[in-house]
Structure 1
Amino acid sequence: MGSGMDDMASMVDGTRRSNALPFQGNALLRLLDEADRTALVPHLEVVPFRNGDMIARAGDTADSICFPLTGIAAILDSLEGDRRYAVALVGSEGFIGWQLLLGNERWSHDVVMRAEHGTAMRLPAAALHGILIECPTIRTVLLRFVDVVMTQMSRTIVSSLAHSIRAANGAMDPALPRPSTRGRHLHDARGVQAHARCPSQQRNRRPAQA
């Protein structure tokens, strides 16, 4: 009965209010004002993911964006055969599907749920474009997070290059200190939850603020 009363309390003239959805579970959504949240409410749905679920596949049509509430979404790329590496991680501090904000209608990377089961709020692409026209501040908040992710991905590349150079130098000169192997699998998709960091965990990096 309590659940039914809660459902009734979250409805006004048959329309869900923003408190009917767990906006507090995602840092970006918490930054939005009530008017922006209200615009999103009719189009959002809560979806579950199990650890290892493929959320998106590179090359497929990007038909939605997702705001994780729990769990970690690993952004994966392939370098050698079928071996995939995490180039970025997104948790409840952000969203995935930023390709749609950048004019790309296809996923550029595989996205897999890692570390644990998770949930997210999904927004269809068709609704997204209309909402961004009516509520431009939402676009600003989302694009600021995209900048955070791009920074994370560039640092991943620099870290990998630096490790490769140190390893090569050590191979050429046995007298040089051997590089640590701890970072060798830093971004290996199979160990992503143990080593890689989310944008919100980077020093001096915080979720975008409106």
Structure 2
Amino acid sequence: MDADFIDDDLMQRNLLLRLLDPATRAALAPHLQRVPLVVRERLYEVREPPQWAYFPLSGVVSMVAEMPDSPTSVVEVATVGHEGMIGLPIFLGADLTPGFAFAQVPGEALRLPAGALREATAEPGRLSRVLHRYTQAMLSQVYQATACNRVHTVHERCARWFLQTHDRVGADEFELAAPFVAQMLGEPVAVVRVVTAMLQQAGFIRYDGDRLTVTDRRGLEGASCGCYRIVADEYERMAASA
């Protein structure tokens, strides 16, 4: 899409870009492209050089680790929405990505060529500071998810995952297929159906296996483990201190 469409208001729909000063956003704008996030479409592949950094405007992206002894088995390590960026390996100077990323919920993103991001962060500046703080928040999310997957029940983890998706989508109703939820949680589909039925019976959600509606946000937070609030607080600190 033509760079003329990348105006400042559009850029500010992404939190990281909103945290930049107007001059830095203006310098990035000519290099940005507005692209759709299509469900299941991969944004980068395992152990390949990333070509683009993506700043989501809407939708949700899953960052996933692939098991080397079973390529069909994957584990979600983090999710990214309008609060973040996909492409931290570029900023950190890595040549390859450790996992892959794909759209979990459809939306839109602004993408920036890898070379443009490297050039923009070659010297200390506002963008580098914001991305350093974002790296800290992302590490917090990955650490917490690792501990959560080991310690907490599937009921708590499912509620946490729905809350994080709800935050990023910005709507009470969104598409979410049960087999996909099962894959991201690392649980059988039958287990996910039992857990979502319990959450629905409690009045927290409505779910038909394809579309989920959050009907009681406070109740869903009560069903989740404390990991949800820990990660949410870290992103709030990022926004306040970047």
TM-score for the superposition, normalised by structure 2: 0.64
Number of residue pairs aligned between Structure 1 and Structure 2: 179
Matches within 5 A, 1:111-190: 111-114=101-104, 116-133=105-122, 136-163=125-152, 180-183=153-156, 190=180
The equivalent residue for 2:49 is 61
The amino acid across from 2:111 in the alignment is R
Q: What's the CA shift for 1:148? A: 0.5
Greater share of helix residues, 1 or 2? 2
Moved runs in structure 1, 4+ residues, more than 4 A? 15-18, 183-189, 192-196, 198-201
Unpaired runs of 5+ residues, structure 1, are 1-6, 8-14, 164-179
Identity %: 28
The equivalent residue for 1:171 is none
The equivalent residue for 2:16 is 28
The amino acid across from 1:88 in the alignment is A
Q: Give the secondary-structure state (helix, strand or coil) at the position aligned to 1:55.
A: strand
- Relative distance call for 1:184 and 1:89 in structure 2 (3 A) is closer
Kept in 2, the 8 Å contact 1:56–1:110? The answer is yes
1:108 aligned to which of 98, 120, 129: 98
Q: What's the CA shift for 1:159? A: 1.5
- Relative distance call for 1:203 and 1:61 in structure 2 (3 A) is closer
The structure, 1 or 2, with the larger RCO (C-alpha pairs under 8 Å, 6+ apart) is 1
The equivalent residue for 1:204 is 233
Kept in 2, the 8 Å contact 1:132–1:139? The answer is yes
The amino acid across from 2:92 in the alignment is L
Kept in 2, the 8 Å contact 1:76–1:87? The answer is yes
TM-score for the superposition, normalised by structure 1: 0.73
Matches within 5 A, 1:35-74: 35-74=23-62
The amino acid across from 2:128 in the alignment is R
Q: What's the CA shift for 1:201? A: 8.2
Q: CA RMSD in A?
A: 3.3
Q: Provide the rounded CA distance (Å) in 2 between the counterparts of 1:17 and 1:122.
A: 13
